[in-house]
Amino acid sequence: MPNDLYDVTIIGAGPIGLFAAFYSGLRSMKTKIIDAEPAVGGKVRYFFPGKIIRDIGGIPAITGADLIANLKEQAETFHPTIVCNERVVDVTKLSNGTFQLTTQNGTIHFSKTIVIATGSGTFEVNRLDALHAENFPDAIFYDVKNLEQFRDKVVAVSGGGNSAIDWAHTLEPIAKEVHLIYRGEDFKAHEERVKALKSSRVQIHIHHEMSALFGINDRLTATTLYCNQTNSTKTISTDALFINHGVKVDLGTMAEWGFTLTDFGILVDDEMKTTIPGIFACGDSAAYPRKIRIIAAGLHEGPIAINSAKKYLEPNAADEAMISTHHEKFIH
């Protein structure tokens, strides 16, 4: 029920919000998570479900999709209420200290504390909405789970950042040909990856941008590339296009909720307290000196934020949850 009062409401069901929900269960807190997206998983689900993550301790390699499936399963251990498709647009502290959260569809939620795990806000990839791209819905990709569909195909990747370079590398051993199309010259990506790309099979077209798409019915067959240095054009065959033209990130109304914001997010102290008593932040949304924006760092911050929320509600509560190997939930 939206009107029920929760001990903690976590805004954002990305990896960090999900783990915070598990940890709040360890602390016996009645928990709700709200996310603007239709499904949990945050940036990992949205941007890189098919990529392999290798920098989480104890997990040598895992796809984004599998990591989120695991985090969701873990979060559900204590049966939190998970609300998707609702974007929190307003947070107000009522005179009795309860927080009232309003979402974009007018639903009101009540909570004694709030943990913000909203990452960089809501996001949307910049889609290719020119060149009659809508004529080729099955040939234009922003992410994929099944790479085998590109085996022995000709694939073009458009973009010059890490994401474009990663896709070119990923597709190179699978596809017959991979073309990387970039309107600039200096790739905005890790130096070593760019160097490796230059000595790979990938055909690189710098100073080029797509100026037309061709196909038979809805099957893509070719794209024309315009050279912004020479004003010349050339046409290359391609079966599929990967678009990596950046993302729109939207903080929405969050800036008006009353926290102190820095250029990098919501300012927190070492207990993940924001400048509003009763509201805590963790993961990519939280900012403090020497912050690292990776999943492993957020997995540490979520429990700190939850412990602070617990202590806010019950000052005499233990500082932290019982470790899982000794927790009553798992003993029997």
Interface positions, 82-121, toward ligand FAD (CB under 6 A): 87-88, 117-121
Residue of 22, 23, 47, 99 that binds ligand FAD (CB under 6 A) = 47
User: What distance in Å separates the CA atoms of residue 253 and residue 116, rounded to the nearest whole number?
Assistant: 13
Residue of 25, 160, 265, 283 that binds ligand FAD (CB under 6 A) = 283
The nearest distance, CB 97 to ligand FAD, in angstroms, is 22
Contact flag: residue 32 with ligand FAD (CB under 6 A): no
For residue 59, the Cα-to-chain-centroid distance in whole angstroms is: 19
Contact flag: residue 80 with ligand FAD (CB under 6 A): no
Element (H, E) at 66: helix 64-75
Is 35 a known ligand-binding residue?
A: yes
* Token representation of residue 106: 């007018």
Q: Name the segment binding ligand FAD (CB under 6 A); options: 28-36, 202-210, 212-220, 227-235.
A: 28-36
Own/partner pairs, 77-81, CB within 8 angstroms, 24+ separation = 77/22, 77/25, 77/329, 78/21, 78/22, 78/24, 78/25, 78/26, 78/31, 78/329, 79/25, 80/21, 80/24, 80/25, 80/31, 80/32, 80/33, 81/4, 81/6, 81/31, 81/32, 81/33
Is 330 a known ligand-binding residue?
A: no
Residue 303 CB partners (closer than 8 Å, separation 6+): 19, 20, 23, 320, 321
- Answer for the pair 306, 23: CB distance below 8 angstroms, yes or no: yes
Residue nearest to ligand FAD (CB): 119
The nearest distance, CB 45 to ligand FAD, in angstroms, is 7
User: Binding residues for ligand FAD, how many (CB under 6 A)?
Assistant: 36
Q: Which is nearer to ligand FAD, 43 or 179 (CB)?
A: 43
Place of tokens 């960090």: 16
Q: Which is nearer to ligand FAD, 40 or 213 (CB)?
A: 40
Residue of 238, 284, 305, 310 that binds ligand FAD (CB under 6 A) = 284
R_g of the chain computed on alpha carbons: 23
Taking the C-alpha atoms of 293, 161, 244 and 47 in order, what is their torsion angle to the nearest 10 degrees?
-20
Contact flag: residue 37 with ligand FAD (CB under 6 A): yes
Q: Name the segment binding ligand FAD (CB under 6 A); options: 39-47, 204-212, 257-265, 268-276.
A: 39-47
Inter-axis angle of helices 191-198 and 162-171, to 10 degrees? Answer: 40
Q: Name the segment binding ligand FAD (CB under 6 A); options: 144-152, 186-194, 238-246, 278-286.
A: 278-286
The nearest distance, CB 7 to ligand FAD, in angstroms, is 19
Specify the 3-state DSSP secondary structure of 264.
coil
Contact flag: residue 295 with ligand FAD (CB under 6 A): yes
Q: Name the segment binding ligand FAD (CB under 6 A); options: 43-51, 224-232, 233-241, 270-278.
A: 43-51
The nearest distance, CB 46 to ligand FAD, in angstroms, is 7
Binding mask 245-274 for ligand FAD (x = CB under 6 A): -------x----------------------
Specify the 3-state DSSP secondary structure of 303.
helix
How many residues are present in the chain?
332
Interface positions, 122-161, toward ligand FAD (CB under 6 A): 122
Left (φ > 0), alpha (ψ -120 to 50) or beta: where does 166 sit? alpha
Binding residues: 35, 43, 48, 88, 123, 284, 325
Binding residues (CB under 6 A) for ligand FAD: these are 11-17, 34-37, 42-44, 47-48, 53, 55, 87-88, 117-122, 163, 252, 283-285, 293-296, 298
Binding residues for FAD: 35, 43, 48, 88, 123, 284, 325
